[in-house]
């Protein structure tokens, strides 16, 4: 079974999110207050490192870079992280990068930024988005279709991520990243040095590597868990619904999986089709999350699962579905449309 799982109440998810947001706001408020008090009193800044990310447009030209640097000086930053590798472009000279190289003989964004920042006693760390090639909106066509990660649905989604499972990918990225060392940078800031989520990577190469190490195809986590763990070895099978609506937004599945990881209870995934749901064994638990408008045939299959003795745990209430479906309201015990 999948090595991750849990069943935290929906209220816990909401409260944890609110606590995280409140903590973030408190930290920001504290930092801003400290900065303002220090400025008013003429005192030195309270924090040794005062860093900021800088988007590519903010240093793409000499004029833009000068404006950005002036603002950073006024704000008291001493470490600048310009984004030099994102959306199929680099802001430095590269012999190996296969996308657009913005640096040329007339203007080199990273070189100019380093020179001018150092003249103002600020350090520069080159911010590189490593496995993240960019969003589909910013870069509709991937440069490396054979190198992309795949979800268990094997459908494209809104982001292009290269697969860390492929040796050719890592060799290529290292050749590009090494070129930043030819600049007078004070460090390299590696971002997106990961998979896009816990539900990746199901590309053929990644699956083959996994099968060689673990002895089974990870694709069987979806709808065929019995191929991994015999049915009689699971007294209370836990399944996470993997609807088609998550195929374009795999982070929806990643979100609930990350929460379930806390309990270390094995689980697998199940499709939203009536056929797959009808095969769920009971007693057991089905977890649905961020699933807002299930089709009527799925609602009927879920009703059948519950009638047979299955437990259903639904986080993030499907408001649209509840408003449209009396059967769904009855299934979830909602008295009236919301």
Separation CA 323–CA 240 (nearest Å): 24
Tokens of 88: 């199929």
Structure-model confidence comparison of residues 323 and 37, the more confident one:
323
Judged against a pLDDT cut of 90, whether residue 288 lies above it is answered with yes
Separation CA 257–CA 241 (nearest Å): 11
pTM, two decimals, is 0.75
Tokens of 243: 């609807």
Convert the pLDDT of each residue in 78-96 to its tens digit.
999 999 999 999 999 999 9
Convert the pLDDT of each residue in 40-57 to its tens digit.
455 566 789 999 999 999
Tokens of 257: 């999986």
Closest CA to 331 of 200, 316, 310: 310
Convert the pLDDT of each residue in 18-44 to its tens digit.
444 444 444 444 455 455 545 545 556
Q: Which domains does the chain have, with CATH numbers?
A: 49-191 (3.20.20.80), 222-332 (3.40.50)
Helices marked H in 191-248 — which ranges?
Answer: 204-214
Judged against a pLDDT cut of 90, whether residue 149 lies above it is answered with yes
Q: Are 268 and 222 in contact (CB under 8 A)?
A: yes
Torsion of CA 246, 249, 251, 257, to 10 degrees: 0
Separation CA 181–CA 188 (nearest Å): 8
Q: What percent of the chain has pLDDT over 70?
A: 86
DSSP conformation class of 2 = B
Tell me, what's the pLDDT at 98? 93
Separation CA 3–CA 225 (nearest Å): 12
Judged against a pLDDT cut of 70, whether residue 318 lies above it is answered with yes
Separation CA 236–CA 285 (nearest Å): 7
125 HSE (CA, 13 A, CB side): 17
Expressed in percent and rounded to 5, the helix, strand and coil fractions of the chain are 45, 15, 40
Axis crossing angle, helix 62-75 with helix 109-119, rounded to the nearest 10: 30
Q: How many other C-beta atoms can be found within 10 angstroms of the C-beta atom of residue 284?
A: 17
């Amino acid at each position: 079974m999948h090595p991750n799982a849990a069943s935290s109440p929906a209220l816990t998810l909401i409260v944890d999110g609110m606590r995280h947001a409140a903590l973030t706001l408190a930290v920001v408020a504290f930092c801003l207050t400290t900065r303002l008090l220090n400025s008013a009193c003429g005192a030195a800044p309270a924090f040794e490192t005062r860093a900021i990310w800088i988007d590519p447009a903010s240093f793409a030209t000499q004029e833009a870079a000068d404006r950005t640097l002036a603002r950073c000086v006024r704000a008291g930053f001493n470490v600048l992280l310009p984004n030099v590798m994102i959306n199929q472009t680099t802001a430095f000279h590269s012999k190996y990068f296969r996308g657009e190289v913005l640096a040329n003989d007339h203007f080199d964004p990273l070189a100019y930024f380093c020179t001018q920042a150092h003249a103002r006693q600020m350090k520069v760390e080159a911010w590189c988005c490593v496995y993240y090639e960019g969003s589909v909106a910013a870069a509709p066509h991937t440069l490396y279709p054979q190198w992309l990660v795949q979800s268990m649905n094997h459908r494209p989604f809104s982001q292009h991520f290269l697969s860390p499972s492929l040796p050719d990918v890592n060799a290529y990225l290292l050749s590009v990243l090494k070129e930043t060392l030819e600049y007078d940078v004070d460090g390299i800031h590696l971002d997106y040095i990961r998979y896009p989520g816990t539900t990746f990577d199901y590309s053929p190469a990644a699956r083959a590597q996994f099968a060689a190490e673990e002895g089974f195809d990870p694709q069987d986590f979806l709808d065929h868990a019995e191929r991994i763990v015999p049915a009689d070895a699971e007294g209370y099978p836990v399944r996470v619904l993997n609807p088609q609506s998550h195929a374009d937004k795999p982070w929806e599945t990643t979100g609930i999986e990350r929460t379930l990881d806390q309990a270390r209870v094995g689980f697998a995934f199940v499709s939203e089709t009536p056929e797959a749901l009808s095969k769920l064994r009971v007693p057991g638990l089905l977890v649905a999350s961020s699933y807002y408008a299930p089709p009527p045939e799925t609602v009927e299959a879920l009703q059948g699962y519950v009638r047979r003795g299955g437990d259903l745990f639904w986080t993030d209430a499907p408001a649209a579905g509840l408003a449209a479906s009396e059967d769904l309201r009855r299934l979830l015990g909602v008295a009236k449309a919301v």
